[in-house]
A and B are shown apart, each in its own frame.
Chain A
Amino acid sequence: MDIQWQTWAAVGIVVITAIIFVIRISKSKKTGGCGHDCGCGKKK
Chain B
Amino acid sequence: MSSVPEAPAMIALVGNPNSGKTTLFNALTGSNQRVGNYSGVTVSVKSGETFTPHGKKVRVLDLPGCYSLRADSPDEQVAIDALTGMLPGEPKPDLVVCVVDSSNLERHLQLALQVLEQGLPCVLALNMVDVAEKSGLRLDPIKLSEELGIPVIPMQANAGKGIIELKQTLRFPLPFHPSAPWAHGPEDPGVARRSFIEQLCALAARRPDAHQQTISDRIDRVLLHPFFGWVFFLVVLFAVFWSIFSFASIPMGWIENAQGMLGEWLISKIPEGDLQSLLVDGILGGVGGVLVFLPQIVLLFLFIGILESSGYMARAAYLMDGVMAKAGLSGKAFLPLFSSYACAIPGVMATRTIHSPKERLVTIFVAPWMSCSARLPVYFLIIPLLLHESEGTWKQAAILFAIYALGTLTAFVTARILRGRLGEDAKPSHFLLELPPYRNLQWGYIFRHVFDRAWAFVSQAGTIILGLSILLWALSTYPKTSEGDAADKLAHSAMGRIGAVIEPVVQPLGFDGKMGTAILTSFAAREVFNSSIAILFRVEETDDEVQTRTALRDRLAEAKWPDGRPLFTPLSMISLLVFYIYALQCLPTTAVVAREANSWKWAGGQFVFMTGFAYLASLAVFQIGKLLGY
Contacts and interface: CB of A to CB of B under 8 A. Distances in A.
Nearest to A41: B88
Given A35-B597, A37-B43, A40-B77, A6 B274 contact: yes
Contact of B44 (A25, A29, A37): A37
Which of A17, A18, A36 is packed against the most chain B CB atoms within 10 Å? A36
Interface in A16-33: 17-18, 20-21, 25, 28-29, 32-33
B43 A17 contact: no
Contact of B75 (A2, A29, A38): A38
Given A36-B357, A38-B64, A38-B78, 17 more contacts: A3-B273, A6-B270, A7-B274, A10-B274, A11-B474, A14-B474, A18-B471, A21-B467, A25-B600, A28-B600, A29-B598, A32-B598, A37-B43, A38-B43, A38-B44, A40-B78, A41-B87
Nearest to B358: A36
B50 to A, nearest CB: 20
B357 A35 contact: yes
A42 B276 CA distance: 46
A14 B471 contact: yes
Interface in B310-364: 352, 357
Contacts of A42: 88
B305 interface: no
Interface of A: 2-3, 5-7, 9-11, 13-14, 17-18, 20-21, 25, 28-29, 32-42, 44
A20 to B, nearest CB: 7
B179 interface: no
Counting contact residues on chain B (CB < 8 A from A), the size range is: 20 to 34
Contacts of A28: 600
Nearest to B475: A14
B275 A17 contact: no
Contacts of A7: 273-275
B40 to A, nearest CB: 11
A42 B89 CA distance: 11
B117 to A, nearest CB: 23
A17 B467 contact: yes
B496 interface: no
A21 B471 contact: yes
Contact of B470 (A14, A29, A32): A14
B471 A39 contact: no
Contact of A40 (B74, B270, B276, B278): B74
A17 B44 contact: no
A41 B89 contact: yes
B599 interface: yes
A17 B45 CA distance: 35
26 contacts: A3-B272, A3-B273, A6-B270, A6-B271, A6-B273, A6-B275, A6-B276, A7-B273, A9-B274, A10-B474, A11-B274, A11-B474, A14-B473, A14-B474, A21-B467, A33-B44, A33-B598, A37-B598, A38-B43, A38-B44, A38-B75, A39-B43, A39-B78, A40-B78, A40-B87, A41-B87
